């Protein structure tokens, strides 16, 4: 294990070194040697604490050893690689296991870019809620007021869409009923928003609008359409101008319909339905089947920055942030707001963020109530419910510390085929 820590007292003398460690991943050869030897590459860098606030105020110290064991377990269950980054009031912890690229053996790094899947939904919700702040959208107005004739029921409001209470059928259930053939059929296809809505409307509403939570990617396709109708600009441009550029998210891109991930990135590996079949490299795709529901590329650092800024009130008014946290019950330990998940952990701490599933990538990205501690964890596989549930335990290690090391996360909804 390669473990390096720079204490706060040394930062003044070693400022340049500390900054370089924060910005640059561990040397690829060193990381690969560690993986080949069966060891973990771990990096913890302590930077000056902003405003004199204690690190992890109100939370147990992160359990990086427990986090490492979670990632190792994911590898034994079929993930080629797994990594996590914790940002804790100026302290950064990075843990990585396994490989980013099976063909070259390059070690996975917490600095790699990857497809964040449905974490994109929170970006879309933030943009829409900013438009609510500007008076261009009203949460309780019918979607059909803004997009006439789009949906089959005028009772479906913007709020219903953002909270997955519209009743709109999730078209990805049919699209990926057969995992690999479904993926290959859309890997290079470019959809229009209305084509995706049409796929959903082949099936009736799953419930009366507003009556119940039912997760559906269709909702955030509608969200993308609302953004473009209200602004007259592409959704990617709105992400850039409203979130990416203001927060200096240098690893974050909406590349649709381009197929490649720019820069150093982790490859994604899709598990076929057939037992024993080899993993499929699913990295290259348009992700046009998801778009504003799941097509953003980012890094753990950027995603942590995003969720910290969100919960710190930097991205919308206090009133909108409160509305974003109007929870609909998902199960005994989870709630869903407006494009935002809440998870209640074993130690009594609630964390806020989103999960993401897209072919070859499982992401957990959550932050504390005050945004001071954030974690983003990734396994580069999908269609593997065992790995998905294992990765949920990264939250226990990150926010509950050693008390959460043996906690078992509640089984997650199966997010193996579509953006989750």
Catalytic (active-site) positions? 118
Q: How far apart are CA 138 and CA 161, in angstroms?
A: 12
Rounded to 5°, angle at Cα 390 from 283 and 373:
85
| Pair of tokens at residue 48 | 């000056």
> What is the rounded end-to-end Cα distance, in angstroms, of the chain?
33
Q: How far apart are CA 404 and CA 61, in angstroms?
A: 11
Element (DSSP H or E) covering residue 92: strand 91-98
Q: What does DSSP assign to residue 241? A: I
Whole-Å CA distances, 170 to 126, 331, 345: 22, 19, 28
Q: Judge whether 73 and 33 are in contact, CB under 8 Å.
A: no
Q: How far apart are CA 49 and CA 324, in angstroms?
A: 29
Q: How far apart are CA 81 and CA 100, in angstroms?
A: 6
| Pair of tokens at residue 298 | 């980012």
Give the three-state DSSP class for 408.
coil
Rounded to 5°, angle at Cα 215 from 210 and 271:
175
| Pair of tokens at residue 195 | 């084509």
Question: Which residues have CB under 8 Å from 281's CB, separation 6+?
Answer: 102, 267, 268, 269, 270, 360
| Pair of tokens at residue 328 | 């609909």
Q: How far apart are CA 265 and CA 181, in angstroms?
A: 25
Total residues belonging to the chain: 420
The neighbouring-strand residues paired with 351 are 343
Q: How far apart are CA 96 and CA 108, in angstroms?
A: 6
Question: Which residues have CB under 8 Å from 331's CB, separation 6+?
Answer: 410
| Pair of tokens at residue 405 | 């090391």
Q: Residue 356: left if φ>0, alpha if ψ -120 to 50, beta else—which one?
A: beta
Q: How far apart are CA 415 and CA 178, in angstroms?
A: 14
């Amino acid at each position: 294990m390669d473990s390096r820590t720079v204490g706060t007292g040394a930062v003044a003398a070693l400022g340049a070194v500390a900054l370089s460690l924060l910005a640059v991943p561990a040397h690829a050869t060193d990381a690969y040697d560690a993986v080949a030897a069966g060891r973990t590459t771990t990096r913890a860098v302590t930077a000056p604490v902003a405003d004199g606030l204690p690190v992890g105020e109100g939370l147990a110290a992160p359990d990086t050893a427990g986090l490492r064991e979670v990632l190792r377990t994911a590898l034994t269950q079929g993930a080629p690689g797994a990594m996590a980054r914790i940002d804790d009031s100026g302290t950064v912890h990075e843990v990585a296991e396994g490989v980013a690229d099976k063909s070259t053996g390059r070690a996975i790094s917490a600095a790699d870019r990857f497809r964040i899947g449905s974490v994109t939904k929170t970006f879309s919700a933030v943009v829409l809620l900013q438009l609510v702040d500007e008076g261009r959208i009203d949460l309780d107005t019918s979607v059909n007021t803004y997009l006439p004739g789009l949906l089959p029921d005028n009772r479906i409001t913007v709020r219903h869409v953002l909270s997955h209470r519209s009743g709109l059928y999730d078209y990805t259930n049919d699209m990926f009923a057969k995992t690999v053939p479904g993926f290959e059929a859309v890997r290079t296809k470019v959809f229009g928003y209305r084509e995706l809505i049409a796929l959903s409307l082949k099936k009736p509403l799953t419930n009366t609008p507003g009556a119940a939570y039912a997760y559906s990617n269709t909702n955030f396709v509608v969200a993308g359409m609302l953004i473009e109708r209200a602004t007259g600009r592409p959704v990617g441009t709105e992400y850039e101008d409203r979130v990416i550029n203001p927060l200096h998210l240098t690893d974050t891109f909406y590349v649709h319909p381009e197929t490649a991930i720019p820069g150093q990135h982790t490859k994604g590996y899709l598990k076929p339905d057939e037992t024993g079949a080899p993993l499929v490299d699913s990295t290259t795709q348009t992700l046009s089947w998801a778009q504003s529901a799941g097509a953003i590329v980012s890094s753990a650092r950027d995603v942590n920055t995003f969720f910290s800024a969100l919960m710190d009130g930097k991205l919308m008014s206090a009133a909108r942030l409160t509305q974003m946290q109007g929870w609909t019950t998902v199960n005994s330990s989870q709630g869903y707001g407006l494009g935002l998940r809440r998870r209640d952990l074993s130690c009594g701490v609630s964390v806020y963020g989103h999960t993401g599933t897209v072919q070859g990538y499982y992401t957990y990205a959550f932050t504390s109530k005050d945004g001071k501690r954030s974690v983003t964890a990734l396994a580069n596989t999908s269609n593997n419910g065992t790995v998905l549930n294992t990765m949920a335990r990264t939250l226990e290690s990150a926010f509950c510390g050693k008390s959460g090391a043996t906690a078992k996360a509640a089984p997650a909804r199966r997010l193996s085929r579509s953006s989750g």
